[in-house]
Structure 1
């Protein structure tokens, strides 16, 4: 019995030490000092991070870019540890994602504003839209609300006062033109533009489809929009020096100059605002 008791005690002690060792490793949150994996959506975000990558390389930091074609996977991959950071989203979208998925992702640096635009293959202005016109908007809650805010800001609809931050098509209390809203996947709206009278399209998807927001939109989001984009990381890496090095590279004069020359006002650097 004594030998058995000693054996059990030894096993328990070994297990406890192993647990302590695992706990210690799990608390080691530091990232690689010389390399980061950054998730982006295809289009402007990818192009801009390519420039930031060149700037970071001068400071001894290697950036590996992982492009995505939707808005959910870059956050999922970040939360699961497949990415060290991502650069593609505004804070309202991030807040909604955290709430819906129980994640703790945080913004660490401003990047750009992609002003959402309204486009039409049939009409040259919002005034031309007929009564009962069909209007396409993104089907994700945050960007759908953003599209509705643009319409409200320009007097086309009125949203219920208590639904400002979470507005959906069901929260419209005034719709003088009787617009018929059709919710579509954001990435597919440029391809479906001919099927509706007008639609709200995110800038990255517009540019990818050869649509210039500044020249082709019939309505463009104002510059005082709250939908500025951010570099986002897991909360435990918020103060990581490697992340801060990447933020510095992104918010450099070289990147700002690239944005201004490449996008001609369709994409705006926002970290100096």
Structure 2
């Protein structure tokens, strides 16, 4: 009798295990079984930035069944390193010029898979109302890191103050071929450009530092035009080259590039940043 009871108990145990296995592995909710996960590297930004990324994640979930997880970084050297080491699937924080410079310096093969926004560069002054009022011999400050120094110089060229050697991806002050007003172009740390304004005629101040310094974008004395020259400053979603055509990553790009997100960007940032995936460059 005891032996028979053991068989019965063993049989019941096997049935129970089968039932548990079925509900655990084969009977998942449809939404969970169909969902895909993507980890996106971003910078630790403003509340406005968080609103944009939250909106994109919701669209990705609702429209494509994509579960977006954001990994935030505090240093600009971190997101590309994390991408190259596959700690994140894609990242979204940099413009094309920064990505190109990173690949060259670090021998990586990261590629853009979708455009996001472009923040138009601005030149500010504490005393002048127009870029044309800059007097001969004046000092203008620009950031000293390679990509932002180059951007500052190209903006000065667009403003008609200097001319640069042609076909220079990243320009430096040594590439200036014409400086008719004999301007003193001083390179300083990007975080210090706004602080130099009381002592100089004008300064190119990056968008985030301008915002932190309380500078009014509507009072800039010159605004960078969006054209072929400024194309390299368009921000992108980047991936490893081997993942260039990854369908899951393409879904995240599509979730970013929506009319709803375009309207939200316009609402939150106004003139300081604009959606870049549908602009026509002249």
Both structures adopt the same fold (TM-score exceeding 0.5): yes
Q: Is the 8 A contact 2:36 2:67 kept in 1?
A: no
Q: Is the 8 A contact 1:39 1:83 kept in 2?
A: no
Partner of 1:82: 87
Q: Give per-residue Cα distances to partners, 1:95-150, cap 9 Å, x unaligned.
A: 11101110111000011111111112232222232332222212222221121111
| 1:249 and 2:252 correspond | no
Q: Give per-residue Cα distances to partners, 1:139-174, cap 9 Å, x unaligned.
A: 22222112111111221011123x532310111122
Which aligned pairs between 1:128-167 and structure 2 lie closer than 5 A?
Answer: 128-161=133-166, 164-167=168-171
Partner of 1:114: 119
Structure-2 separation of matches of 1:198 and 1:57: 45
Q: Give per-residue Cα distances to partners, 1:223-250, cap 9 Å, x unaligned.
A: 2121211111111222222211211111
Q: Is the 8 A contact 1:115 1:202 kept in 2?
A: no
Matched residue SS, 1:34: strand
Q: Is the 8 A contact 1:46 1:67 kept in 2?
A: no
Matched residue SS, 1:165: coil
> Over aligned residues, Cα RMSD in angstroms?
2.3
Q: Which has the higher Rg, Structure 1 or Structure 2?
A: 2
Matched residue SS, 2:120: coil
Report deviation, 1:36: 1.6
Question: Number of residues paired by the alignment?
Answer: 240
TM-score, normalised via structure 1 length:
0.78
| Gapped regions of structure 2 (runs ≥ 5) | 1-34
Of 222, 227, 245, the residue aligned with 1:239 is: 245
Matched residue SS, 1:166: coil
Pick closer, same or farther for the CA change 1:114–1:269 going to 2, 3 Å. same
Of 204, 210, 220, the residue aligned with 2:214 is: 210
Q: Is the 8 A contact 1:55 1:254 kept in 2?
A: no
Structure-1 separation of matches of 2:244 and 2:213: 34
Partner of 2:41: 38
Report deviation, 1:47: 4.4
Q: Is the 8 A contact 2:41 2:79 kept in 1?
A: no
Partner of 1:185: 189
Structure-1 separation of matches of 2:254 and 2:175: 41
Q: Give per-residue Cα distances to partners, 1:42-67, cap 9 Å, x unaligned.
A: 24655432321222232433333334
Structure-2 separation of matches of 1:268 and 1:94: 20
TM-score, normalised via structure 2 length:
0.76
Q: Is the 8 A contact 2:128 2:134 kept in 1?
A: yes
Pick closer, same or farther for the CA change 1:64–1:194 going to 2, 3 Å. farther
Pick closer, same or farther for the CA change 1:206–1:82 going to 2, 3 Å. farther
| Gapped regions of structure 1 (runs ≥ 5) | 1-31
Q: Give per-residue Cα distances to partners, 1:15-44, cap 9 Å, x unaligned.
A: xxxxxxxxxxxxxxxxx9323232236246
Matched residue SS, 2:141: strand
Pick closer, same or farther for the CA change 1:95–1:180 going to 2, 3 Å. same
